[in-house]
Amino acid sequence: MTWCVPSRPHPASRRPARGAGPAAAPVAAVALVALLGACGTDAGKNDTPAEEPPLRLAAAWARQADSGKISAAYLTLENRADAPVAIRQFGSEAVQAVELHENMTEDGMTHMHARAILEVPAGGRVTMAPGGLHLMLIGTQRTLAPGDTVRLTLEMEDGRSQQVAVPVQRP
Amino acid sequence: MRGRLIAALLPALLPPLLAACDVAGSFRGMAVEPPREIPGFSFVLPGGTRYATAAEAGRPMLLFFGYTHCPDVCPTTLADFARVRQALGEQASRVRFVFVTVDPERDTPEVAQRYAMGFDSTFVGLSGDSATTAGLQQAFGVASVREPGSEATGYLVGHASQVFLLDDRGRLVAIHPFGSGWDALAADVRRLL
């Protein structure tokens, strides 16, 4: 089954492409941090510099859907810190509810199970993909069309939160 | 007695065996050997007309069981169907792409049809009564089961996630487990065209 296979390298992998200048990685990292920071509702409100987000969004997409329907989002999250990061809740302005689910297939029958916590290990990554771990987007508040963006809020167990922007794609 | 039984059975057994030899080992999905006869079922479409899953000469069929509240496996599979259709080009019109809901309580014929057509306007989305749904699943040797969900999701449905490929004589010839890849599916459909 494809979802058991280690994921292919992601377009936004840590290493810059061969031939890219030595400045590419730091520039990309700064740009990403700035982008992620800009998503936060509190950005710019404090005088102190914003804390670096706990997780890095290495890849993400959400499936297109009509208004009032079901969709799904798939994130690849990296944790470059020394301690694991546990996400206890996901939310979004674009849908009524977000739930973390995992599909299990046994003897050709697929069952979906809700998962309460998503832990991203220290120095590791979690990859969501069709057929496995995914975010179920329940009750879309508007049509999600290719090119749109869904903003997701990740609430950590330690009280921190982070916002990420997920592009909508045609599957 | 035994000799007579074998003699009586041989004419029935030979054609499927020979047919199996014809294509055996060349499907990229799991070949069904010998191919299994699947009885046809009749579904009511929105507007009251009927759609029969029975064989149509010259037209192989891809069939998938799912439900429209399914966020992951079902849309992934139907998106694969759309890729297969695109890859087949002009031959695509000869292939029947069929989605059958295992949740007829929430998926009315209108909902099932609209859902399937959201992936490609030629796709067929079917919702039958519980007896028809169970009968068709039984014919393929699969089942579905209602499972508890949250307040937000309502109940969930565990269901078969394979894609079934039938030839134009209504025989199941190959099964593609979820994740087999649309290109493998397209290759197997081409064998039947």
| Interface confidence (ipTM) of the complex | 0.81
| Contact of A101 with A50, CB cutoff 8 Å | no
From the list A1, A70, A110, the residue facing B69 with the nearest CB is A70
Question: Is the distance from CB of B140 to CB of B164 less than 8 angstroms?
Answer: yes
Distance CA B110, CA A16 (A): 49
**Range 18-77 of A in CB contact (< 8 A) with B:** 63, 66, 69-72
Candidate from B69, B150, B159 with C-beta closest to A109: B159
- Residue tagged 């102190």 (tokens): A48
At residue B25, the pLDDT reads: 55
pLDDT at A17: 38
Nearest Cα neighbor of A98 from A45, A60, A62, A149 is: A62
B67 min Cα distance to partner chain A (Å): 11
- Count of pairs with CB atoms under 8 A, one residue in A, one in B: 85
Per-residue DSSP letter, A4: G
Q: Which of A3, A112, A134, A137 to mutate to test binding with chain B, by most B CBs within 10 Å of its CB?
A: A112
B 63-92 residues inside an 8 A Cβ radius of A: 68-73, 75-76, 79
Residue type for position B178: F
pLDDT at site B162? 96
**pLDDT given at position A51:** 72
pLDDT tens string, chain A, 171 residues long: the values are 333 333 333 433 333 334 444 444 555 555 544 454 444 444 444 455 567 888 999 999 999 999 999 999 999 999 999 999 999 999 999 999 999 999 998 888 999 999 999 999 999 999 999 999 999 999 999 999 999 999 999 999 999 999 999 999 987
What is the rounded distance in angstroms from the CA atom of residue B57 to the CA atom of residue B130? 28
What pLDDT was estimated at residue A4?
Answer: 31
Interface check A160 vs B, CB under 8 A: no
pTM of the model: 0.79
- Asked if the Cβ–Cβ distance from B72 to A66 is below 8 Å, we say no
In chain A, residues with a C-beta closer than 8 Å to the C-beta of B180 are 2
In 3D space, the residue among A12, A29, A4 whose CA is nearest the CA of residue A132 turns out to be A4
Angle between helices B73-88 and B182-191 (to 10 degrees): 50
pLDDT of residue A15: 38
- A102 at B interface, C-beta within 8 A: no
What pLDDT digit, counting tens, does each position of B119-140 carry?
A: 999 999 999 999 999 999 999 9
Tell me if A171 and B75 make a contact (CB, 8 A cut-off).
yes
Would you state the pLDDT for residue A52? Answer: 82
Give the phi and the psi of residue A20 in degrees, each rounded to 5: -70, 150
Q: Under a CB-based contact definition with an 8 Å cutoff, are residues B63 and B53 in contact?
A: yes
Q: Of A63, A71, A78, which is closest to residue A10 (Cα–Cα)? A: A78
In sequence order, what are the residues at sequence separation of 6 or more whose Cβ sits closer than 8 angstroms to the Cβ of residue A151? A39, A92, A93, A94, A163, A164, A165, A166
Low-confidence stretches of chain B (pLDDT < 70) are 1-25
For residues A162 and A36, the answer to whether their CB atoms sit within 8 Å is yes
